[in-house]
Structure 1
Amino acid sequence: MRSTNGRKDAQAFDGKLEFEVTVISHEGQDAWIPRLLVELKKCLDGELPPPDPECEFCAYRKAVINVTQTMESRDKRRSRITAHHESATLF
């Protein structure tokens, strides 16, 4: 494991952060990792759960999607109008 901490004894900031890196030895079992990776992949590839009505982030994302769809729809209408006017002639 690696631990990283910002240096508190630096004389000046000078536009850069300096860190001290410490490697901490750890012994443990890792046989569970491949199975967990398969489960994680399955979860990520699965269906999204429905948004929670109480979730502020869910409401925010829904609003972003609505605005994006509205803008895309408006852009498509403008493109059709522009294309129609460019192809029209007086004679």
Structure 2
Amino acid sequence: MPIKKQYLKSKPVCKVTFTLPGDEATSVVVAGNWNNWSTSETQLKKLKNGNFKGTLDLESGKSYEFKYVVDGEWQNDAQADAYTANAFATENSVLNL
């Protein structure tokens, strides 16, 4: 599922909606450099159709690194704007606003 970006005209903020197919997952969190990679702050809500969804307000004009934590397993977003290497010899998803 793509990431939806809605830029606000009144302030330099972008409402970013993350949607991830849930399949058999019970818990999905999005963690990134905007929240110091916290796995407890941004829990996505499970919808009736099985997808997980959540919206964050992030400052426009910046790039953010993030990953999903699906049932404790770190995953990238297949629809990310880009990917960048991290200190764990893997990659992080990148969101360009």
Normalised by the shorter chain, which TM-score bucket?
A: under 0.3
Instruction: Give me the TM-score of the superposition, normalised by structure 1.
Output: 0.15
Rg larger in structure: 1
The structure where strand makes up a greater share of residues is 2
The structure where helix makes up a greater share of residues is 1
**Bigger relative CO (Cα 8 Å, ≥ 6 apart):** 2
Instruction: Give me the TM-score of the superposition, normalised by structure 2.
Output: 0.15
